[in-house]
């Protein structure tokens, strides 16, 4: 793999519920992101994807592990300002309406970002008005949009504005947390393709967080499959989709509708993601797993390296469990 631009190493993030209860929302997650790479992070709601995104941005303190960007540790956001070294990492939130200031024009909000970039990078000869018009064109909006307010745009247009504001900083990494889930079906494909096109053309690495596996399959170079805060499988997207190794990844892919005209219904994964405050013992997926066997409720599986760029966390993949796997079939 190319030299990592963003490295997540053994990261855990905990929340407290009440005075004593500690909830581990992210548990020992590791991955690297190369320059210009698109990484998809997938899993059902409640699996820790958004908490991981906040950790990458310094919005959630780490209880364990480390995150580095361009070799520099990512620190938790302070009260006064964000670490200057972290400015090339930008985030696009799921709720674009809440992320934009309804009392300021779109142009004013993007101009503010441009001004901060000029100040921190000590750029000269930059015209903020021209910069705003340029980034709006890149996301398919006319320069006249700068004079309007966020409520004057549709949901899909607001997400394009959020993207414009992010790229106005000339970032190296964008973390997109469910950026298209709030859009209707007709706008989702356009927004996803636009995000990828902009990142490809600008050389921006992208962490694309989504529960929509079909979209991730279409746009991501690599994929990380998460469940209840843990990484269950990771590898090149085409390989994971062609031959998923973890039962959870298999179930997620089997649940994707296939519009092939055969009338075949997608398979349903029974049950729901457990409450992380009452996580199952052993493999946290074992209550829902069709292939569970003796010991799955006691032993926490480690990530097993399957090849140079693939890994999965399941005891079925350990050589010593071949007989048990055959029995589970």
Task: Identify the bridge partners of residue 236 per DSSP, sorted by sequence position.
Answer: 222
- Tokens representing 82? 């964000």
DSSP conformation class of 99: H
pLDDT at 329 over 60: no
Q: Rounded to whole angstroms, how far apart are CA atoms 295 and 278?
A: 19
Strands (E), the chain: 6-17, 21-33, 38-42, 64-69, 72-73, 89-92, 173-177, 205-210, 222-227, 230-236, 304-307, 310-312
Residues ≥6 apart with Cβ < 8 Å to 98: none
DSSP conformation class of 276: G
Q: Rounded to whole angstroms, how far apart are CA atoms 317 and 83?
A: 42
Q: How far is CA 111 from CA 32, 139, 152, in A?
A: 32, 16, 19
Q: Rounded to whole angstroms, how far apart are CA atoms 75 and 80?
A: 13
Domains of the chain plus CATH, in order, are 6-88+171-328 (3.40.50.300), 98-170 (no CATH)
Q: Residues 58-109: pLDDT tens digits?
A: 999 999 999 999 988 988 876 566 667 788 999 998 888 888 999 999 999 9
Residue 255 pLDDT:
85
pLDDT at 321 over 80: no
Q: Which residue has the higher pLDDT, 108 or 124?
A: 108
Residue 35: φ, ψ to 5°: -55, 130
Order of strands, sheet of 6-17, starting from the edge strand that comes earlier in the sequence: 21-33, 6-17, 64-69, 72-73
pLDDT at 326 over 80: no
Task: Identify the bridge partners of residue 235 per DSSP, sorted by sequence position.
Answer: 223
List b or e across 55-68, with b for residues whose CB sees 16 or more CB atoms inside 10 angstroms: bbbbebebbebebe
Beta strand 205-210 with 222-227 is unpaired
Q: Residues 61-72: pLDDT tens digits?
A: 999 999 999 988
Q: Rounded to whole angstroms, how far apart are CA atoms 322 and 123?
A: 61
pLDDT at 327 over 60: no
Beta strand 310-312 with 230-236 is antiparallel
- The model's pTM: 0.89
Q: Rounded to whole angstroms, how far apart are CA atoms 16 and 23?
A: 6
- Tokens representing 127? 């015209």
Residue 46 pLDDT:
87
DSSP conformation class of 234: E
Give the closest residue to 25 by CA, choosing from 54, 57, 58, 66.
54
């Amino acid at each position: 793999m190319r030299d990592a631009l963003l490295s997540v190493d053994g990261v855990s993030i905990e929340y407290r519920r009440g005075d004593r209860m500690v909830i581990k929302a992210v548990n020992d997650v590791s991955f690297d992101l190369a320059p210009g790479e698109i990484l998809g992070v997938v899993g059902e709601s409640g699996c820790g994807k958004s908490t991981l995104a906040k950790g990458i941005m310094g919005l959630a303190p780490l209880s364990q592990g480390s995150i580095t960007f361009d070799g520099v540790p990512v620190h938790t956001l302070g009260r006064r300002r964000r670490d200057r070294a972290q400015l090339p990492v930008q985030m696009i939130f799921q709720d674009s309406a809440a992320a934009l200031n309804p009392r300021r024009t779109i142009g004013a909000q993007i101009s503010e970002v441009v001004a901060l970039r000029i100040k921190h990078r000590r750029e000269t000869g930059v015209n903020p008005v021209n910069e705003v018009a340029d980034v709006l064109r890149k996301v398919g909006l006319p320069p006249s949009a700068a004079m309007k307010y966020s409520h004057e745009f549709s949901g899909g247009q607001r997400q394009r504005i959020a993207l414009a504001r992010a790229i106005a900083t000339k970032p190296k990494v964008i973390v997109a947390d469910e950026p298209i889930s709030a859009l209707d079906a007709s706008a989702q494909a356009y927004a996803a393709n636009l995000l990828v096109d902009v990142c490809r053309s600008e050389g921006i690495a992208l962490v694309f967080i989504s529960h929509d596996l079909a979209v991730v399959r279409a746009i991501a170079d690599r994929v990380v499959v998460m469940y209840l805060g843990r990484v269950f499988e990771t590898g090149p997207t085409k390989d994971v989709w062609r031959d998923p190794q973890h039962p959870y990844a298999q179930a997620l892919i089997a649940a994707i509708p296939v519009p092939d005209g055969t009338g075949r219904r997608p398979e349903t994964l029974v049950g729901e993601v457990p409450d992380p405050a009452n996580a199952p013992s052993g493999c946290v997926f074992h209550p829902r797993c069709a292939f569970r066997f003796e010991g799955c409720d006691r032993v926490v599986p480690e990530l097993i390296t399957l090849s140079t760029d693939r890994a999965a966390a399941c005891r079925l993949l350990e050589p010593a469990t071949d007989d048990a796997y055959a029995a589970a079939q």
